[in-house]
Amino acid sequence: MRPIPTAELHLHIEGTLEPELAFALAERNGIRLPYADQDELRAAYSFSDLQSFLDLYYALMAVLRTEDDFADLADAYLARAREQGVRHAEIFFDPQAHTSRGVPIGTVINGLARALDAAPEKHGITTRLIMCFLRDESPESAVATFESARPHLDRITAVGLDSAEVGNPPSAFREVYALAREAGLKCVAHAGEEGPPSYVWEALDVLGVDRVDHGVRSLEDAALVARLVADQVPLTVCPLSNVRLRVIDRLEDHPLRLMLDAGLLVTVNSDDPAYFGGYLHDNMVAVTDALGLDEETVRTLARNSFRASFLDEPAKAAYLREIDAH
């Protein structure tokens, strides 16, 4: 199976930090990691749930300190993504995970932007940036983060909501989403990964999201599925992530096909590929094999990714023609 042109819509740039780059940046910045070598670090990539992953994900970010670090991180992702068929990427970043360590938000955004600006020519990938708020931090911290990002909003397409879901419902973040919308930004939120269908309802009705990230637990609520189908709200599904974080027991049990059959606008994404065992095409191949998807279903998933993107209509049409020609 050749990689098909795809838009990646659920990708945490911090989740693309491979052990090799983590050690290189640690050395560059004079930071000691609590792992002897890359193999010992990789051996820690065994997760029991979302929180057990987040603990390592935040700890390893200690190596990201300078604009160059963020530029190198994003450039490494883009190079790998292109080999995996990615032609457009809407990339999450977690500013609070860096500002809380004393890294200014401008350092993060300028570093990422440097790599993203070079990406069309260097890697043949167009990009957008999505600024995520940490839902296990306070709503006030989210608002303060948004205000500190105002000088950089021309670089940001959307806001998102991530980190530990259960006990941190979307409705708490109503104010910052209202500010984002007033500023002309699009809105997405993680919901229905570990959290209940009610969190997906809140993301839709309280935050007014344009897309739901994960959303796999929506299937537990028939009225919610009907709503998502009627409004063709995209769901950014991450199959390998779901298995690694034990949202789903086995890939063979993944509800992706059920979701498509229900008429949901589903896309396939890699989430945190350095941690979950694969980038975008790896996810496509894994679900294709596990669920026995046919070629036309893979094309549908690729088409959905561009339809669900924040690209303008002419750009979407151009990418859809590439899929037809594939």
Task: Out of 127, 236, 241, 269, point to the residue binding ligand HPA (CB under 6 A).
Answer: 241
Q: Is 168 in the site for ligand HPA (CB under 6 A)?
A: no
Cα–Cα distance, 136 to 124 (Å, whole number): 36
Task: Out of 193, 211, 280, 286, point to the residue binding ligand HPA (CB under 6 A).
Answer: 193
Task: Out of 163, 218, 270, 309, point to the residue binding ligand HPA (CB under 6 A).
Answer: 163
Partner from ligand HPA, Zn ion, none binding residue 218, C-beta < 5-8 Å depending on class: none
Q: Is 271 in the site for ligand HPA (CB under 6 A)?
A: yes
- Point out which span in 29-37, 227-235, 269-277, 301-309 binds Zn ion (CB under 5 A): 269-277
Cα–Cα distance, 273 to 149 (Å, whole number): 27
Cβ closer to Zn ion: 69 or 271? 271
Partner from ligand HPA, Zn ion, none binding residue 50, C-beta < 5-8 Å depending on class: ligand HPA
Long-range contacts of 115-122 (CB under 8 A, 24+ apart): 115/70, 115/71, 115/72, 115/73, 115/74, 115/75, 115/78, 116/74, 116/78, 116/91, 118/75, 119/78, 122/75, 122/78
Q: Is 15 in the site for ligand HPA (CB under 6 A)?
A: yes
Cβ closer to ligand HPA: 163 or 305? 163
Cβ closer to Zn ion: 277 or 315? 277
Q: Which of 193, 220, 296, 313 is catalytic?
A: 193
Give the containing element (helix H, strand E) for 61: none
**Structural tokens at position 258:** 């059920």
From the list 227, 188, 192, the residue with the least C-alpha distance to 208 is 188
DSSP-derived letter for residue 271 is B
Task: Out of 7, 12, 180, 305, point to the residue binding ligand HPA (CB under 6 A).
Answer: 12
Percentages helix, strand, coil for the chain, rounded to the nearest 5? 55, 15, 30
**Structural tokens at position 121:** 């020519």
Q: Is 130 in the site for ligand HPA (CB under 6 A)?
A: no
- Helices and strands (DSSP H and E) totals, the chain: 16, 8
Q: Is 96 in the site for ligand HPA (CB under 6 A)?
A: no
Cβ closer to ligand HPA: 8 or 272? 272
Cβ closer to ligand HPA: 80 or 190? 190
Residues 6+ apart with CB under 8 A from 306: 7, 88, 316, 319, 320, 323
Catalytic (active site) residue 202: no
Q: Is 271 in the site for Zn ion (CB under 5 A)?
A: yes
Asked if 303 and 326 touch (Cβ cutoff 8 Å), the reply is no
Q: Which residues bind ligand HPA (CB under 6 A)?
A: 12, 15, 50, 57, 162-163, 190, 193, 241, 271-272
What residues are annotated to the active site?
Answer: 193
